[in-house]
Amino acid sequence: MSRLLIIGPPGSGKGTQAEHLARHFQVPAVSTGDIFRSNVRRKTHLGNQAARYLDDGHFVPDHLTNALVKDRLLESDARKGFLLDGYPRTAPQALELDSMLADHGHVLDAVIELTAPDAELEERMQRRALEQGRTDDTIDVFRRRLDLYRRQTHEVVSVYAGRGILVSVNGSGDPGGITAAAIAAVEQFLAAPRPPS
């Protein structure tokens, strides 16, 4: 079983690829959005706190997000492996994830980074807005989200690149082809001999 993380800009198809990769590697896809919704629906203590931020359209603060993710990774299906989607978004969250895993003698095995040109990301977003009737998928909102991703998540990518566990995958083109390329790249990375840490 593997402990994986997928990261990519808005419009990169990260959620779709996370589901396919999780199924292939036989681990649960763990999305922060799903964690938030599940806890809010079940009215857990942490969920009630998170709901106050979500209802006002704000980001859930790090301390709450960290606690919610930690709880989720302790559930039985995630103890032997997982594919994280949407966390960590910032360098401090990446350090907190290290701490969570180290408490149980684990580390991340690989971080999959999906890349695609801005023009393609923008085109996908516009297509999704038309197909799903999403009013939040305007060009201005998309560009703000992309800028936020670049400013916050660039640090996270740098952290994992520095550790030698970043696997970059071209996220352009047909989704099935991207899935196949990602699986091949991760399998090749996991099979390669690793230097002692």
80 is catalytic: no
CB-count exposure of residue 111 (10 Å: 0-12, 13-18, 19+): buried
Which residue among the candidates 3, 72, 89, 124 is catalytic per the annotation?
89
The values of phi and psi at residue 144, to 5°, are: -65, -45
Residue numbers in the known binding site are 11-16, 32, 37, 58-60, 86-89, 93, 128, 134, 145, 173
Whether 41 is catalytic is no
| Identified catalytic residue from 23, 42, 52, 134 | 134
Annotated binding site for ATP: 11-16, 128, 173
Give the annotated binding-site residues for AMP.
32, 37, 58-60, 86-89, 93, 134, 145
| Catalytic annotation, pick one of 3, 14, 72, 124 | 14
Cα–Cα distance for residue pair 142/12, rounded to 1 Å = 12
**Where on the phi/psi map is residue 173: left (φ > 0), alpha (ψ -120 to 50), or beta?**
left
Is 194 a catalytic site residue?
Answer: no
Contact 108, 8 (CB under 8 A): no
Among 70, 40, 34, which Cα is nearest to 54's?
A: 40
Active site residues: 14, 89, 128, 134, 145
